[in-house]
Amino acid sequence: MNKLRIVYMGTPDFAVPSLKILVENKYDIAAVITAPDKPKGRGQKMSISPVKEYAQSVGLKILQPTNLKDPNFQKELKDLNANLQVVVAFRMLPEAVWSMPEIGTFNLHASLLPQYRGAAPIHWAVMNGEKETGLTTFFLKHEIDTGSIIMQEKESISDVDTTGEVYERLMKKGADLVLKTVQAIENDDYALTPQDENQKLKHAPKLFKENTELKWDQPAEKLYNYIRGLNPFPSAWAIINDKKYKIHSSSIVDKNKTGNIGEIISDHKSYLHIQCNPGIISLENIQPEGKKKMPTADFFRGNKL
């Protein structure tokens, strides 16, 4: 057996259950590396990451480097004498950091690699209408998200799932997979599988304003998937009558009907339908710029298109 001494790296709430399960199973956590505190909200009060909040609650050593290439940070990391690093939802690591431990550094990625490499794998799986996604643990190497696979776990996606719902399920399943991976490494009972590059790969780039806009010249089914794939964050958006709206939820009225692309079909009281190419989509929960999100019927009580 390998006697493990672990450095854990993570920042958002997605990374908390995986750290918690290692602590509860009494693994030796030498330190937790997380993002620096940052000002947040109107008052610009300093906010700490969810991982830091949990690590503080159980008395773990916490490091918050601003620069992972800083020689002082790297010396402090080396002095911890960890032989394994576990990374969940953290930033890109320089080679000097991920290659430091004797056993290596493994990452939990929220897709079935090699599919959906990149920053937003859950979003893009839902946005693309996938029926299945999952989780992968793999050892880091030079090219991002390309290292040898240790373990994978599948997760189905329904036609009505939002990214928020899939995220919650993968967050819990991810903790179990991290524990299984650490146990396998501890017992030296695992096999590595190179990622299969001989298939058509789908990617998961970071989400920006440019790739979250709804264009009505797309099929209604595709736009419906985009809307649920961007729910709850960062939200799909569209221009309707020269004004910008965030679109939080929708349904498909008709998949195949053709007509004047972008035409508004509405009684201006209870429903707002848009002609797509092909199909008609119903916008059910919208948010005018500078206002709160609301059901379409509530919008029409105080607003006009």
- What ranges do the domains of the chain cover? 5-186, 209-302
Q: Which of 233, 7, 245 is nearest to 105 (CA)?
A: 7
Provide the residue count of the chain.
305
Ramachandran region of residue 152, left (φ > 0), alpha (ψ -120 to 50) or beta? Answer: beta
- The ranges of the chain with pLDDT < 50 are none
CATH superfamily placement of domain 209-302: Formyl transferase, C-terminal domain (3.10.25.10)
pLDDT of residue 41: 77
Q: Does domain 5-186 have CATH number 3.40.50.170?
A: yes
pLDDT of residue 96: 97
Please state the pTM of the whole predicted model: 0.95
Q: How far apart are CA 116 and CA 207, in angstroms?
A: 13
Q: How far does CA 12 lie from the centroid of its chain?
A: 10
pLDDT of residue 303: 86
Q: Confirm whether residue 113 is marked as ligand binding.
A: yes
Q: Confirm whether residue 112 is marked as ligand binding.
A: yes
Q: Confirm whether residue 111 is marked as ligand binding.
A: yes
Q: Confirm whether residue 235 is marked as ligand binding.
A: no
